[in-house]
Amino acid sequence: MAEAPPAGPNDEISVATSLLTSAAVVGCGVIGAGWASRLRLSGVDVCVYDPSPTVGTIIDEVHDNAVRGWEALGVMPDNVGSLTIASSLEDTVGGAGLVVESVPERLELKHATLVAIDETTGPETIIASSTSGFKPSVLAGPLTRPERLIVGHPFNPVYLLPLVEVVAGTATTEATVERAMTIYRSLGMHPLRVRAEIDAHIADRLLEAVWREALWLINDGIATTAEIDDAIRFGFGLRWAQMGLFETYRIAGGTGGMRHFIAQFGECLDWPWTKLMDTPELTDELIETIARQSDEQSGHLSIRELERIRDQNLASMLLALEQNGWGAGRTIAEQRRSQGGSKGTGD
Ligand code: NAD
């Protein structure tokens, strides 16, 4: 079984050979540390800046998990890029072909950080923000050279999930976007070009909808955190990982396909199946309920243990998809091809 041949710009698979030799990561928490690992595992030398005193520990712990993940996938390279932890932003970004900004999601902090990067790098450096929500034109507002800024929105864990949403601002040049897309492919990723700027891009708008509905279900005492997670992971979550939403519903329409599906379920959109347009107030009581239920559900495992379980599951799913020549498995297959075939476990 194999998917139909690529049809559009977002489906193109062509991995560039190493066109990036050095990169900088500014802000090295959950996402920045994940970027640092993916870059290093792709042979890129990485310099990071994060004022947190625990940055070294976070980088090491995340990188350990990343290595395990790449070993499980069988794509662990022979050579890994170097890591430098700098003591100032200015010492970090100079000379980097790509600067990844992953500081917290606050506009004034993003602006201050991006301006500092803008002032300290040459015009050929691509500046990529990991922002989950801001439009690139909003981020680029105070920059002197906004033409080289894009949003490159990844997904946690960055070192395993191939998707990166690529969004251009009004000032971003097409050359910048194309170069960024090529770089992302060289990192074993699947860059998805978002056609137009919109708050929260594509994926987080979908996730926000599910998140809101889940908050209502807890708020109204309908389901617990564990029950909601079961409703996802034993059912439609498995479908989503391999076919997404539309192809899944096309099949759900039987041989009549999408037209029959909409004829059958279209009316439900007007029924009270969702409270999506309304937001539950995050009262102390609701937050406590969610946090307590989450502790009961998963508190027996540390976050790092949960990450390792997640990563092992993701690697196995990606390998299964690769074997079937389908979805995200095709990105892994391409990464393996670009490495020159099967790699060892890296032991
Ligand atoms: P985080 O809180 O885990 O990490 C942010 C890091 O930035 C911290 O380590 C902090 O010390 C550092 N920092 C703070 N001020 C700084 C400064 N002035 N200079 C350099 N570093 C600074 O946050 P995160 O979850 O990694 O999110 C970072 C960005 O990635 C946000 O824009 C977020 O929207 C985006 N993002 C997050 C996720 C996710 O699942 N967490 C997914 C995709 C994108």
Asked if 335 and 74 count as a contact pair (C-beta separation under 8 A), the reply is: no
Which of 31, 52, 127, 139 has the most ligand 1 atoms within 8 A of CB, as the residue to mutate?
A: 31
> What is the Cα–Cα distance from 248 to 163, expressed in whole angstroms?
19
DSSP 15-51: PPPS---EEEEE--SHHHHHHHHHHHHTT-EEEEE--
Ligand 1 center–CA 67 separation, angstroms = 21
Which of 100, 103, 160, 165 has the most ligand 1 atoms within 8 A of CB, as the residue to mutate?
A: 103
Q: What is the mean pLDDT of residues 233-245?
A: 94
> What is the Cα–Cα distance from 163 to 241, expressed in whole angstroms?
12
> What is the Cα–Cα distance from 180 to 167, expressed in whole angstroms?
10
What does the pLDDT look like over 274-300, one tens digit per residue?
Answer: 777 678 888 999 999 999 999 999 999
Ligand 1 center–CA 341 separation, angstroms = 35
Residues 6+ apart with CB under 8 A from 10: 191, 192, 193
Question: What is the percentage of the chain residues whose pLDDT exceeds 70?
Answer: 92
Which is higher by pLDDT, 2 or 52? 52
Q: Considering only CA atoms, which residue is closest to atom 14 of ligand 1?
A: 103
- Tell me which amino acid residue 41 is: L
- Within its chain, how far is the Cα of 90 from the centroid? 26
Q: What average pLDDT is seen over the chain?
A: 91
Ligand 1 center–CA 135 separation, angstroms = 16
- Dmax (CA) for the chain in angstroms is 61
List the 163-168 sheet strands across, edge first: 83-85, 45-49, 22-26, 98-101, 126-129, 149-153, 163-168, 190-193
* pLDDT for position 3: 60
* pLDDT for position 207: 95
* pLDDT for position 344: 38
Ligand 1 center–CA 105 separation, angstroms = 7
* pLDDT for position 7: 39
Task: Give the number of other Cβ atoms within 10 Å of residue 208's Cβ.
Answer: 15
Return the structure tokens found at 218.
């807890």
Whether 10 has a pLDDT exceeding 70, the answer reads no
> What is the Cα–Cα distance from 273 to 215, expressed in whole angstroms?
15
Q: Considering only CA atoms, which residue is closest to atom 32 of ligand 1?
A: 131
Ligand 1 center–CA 101 separation, angstroms = 8
Which is higher by pLDDT, 137 or 6? 137
Which is higher by pLDDT, 171 or 10? 171
Q: Considering only CA atoms, which residue is closest to atom 4 of ligand 1?
A: 29
Q: Considering only CA atoms, which residue is closest to atom 3 of ligand 1?
A: 29
Ligand 1 center–CA 318 separation, angstroms = 26
Pocket around ligand 1 at a 6 A CB cut-off: 26-32, 49-52, 102-105, 109, 113, 130-132, 153-154, 156
User: Crossing angle, helix 303-323 and helix 55-73, to 10 degrees?
Assistant: 30
Backbone angles phi, psi at 164, to 5 degrees: -135, 120
What does the pLDDT look like over 57-110, one tens digit per residue?
Answer: 999 999 999 999 999 999 999 999 999 999 999 999 988 999 999 999 999 999
Q: Considering only CA atoms, which residue is closest to atom 9 of ligand 1?
A: 29
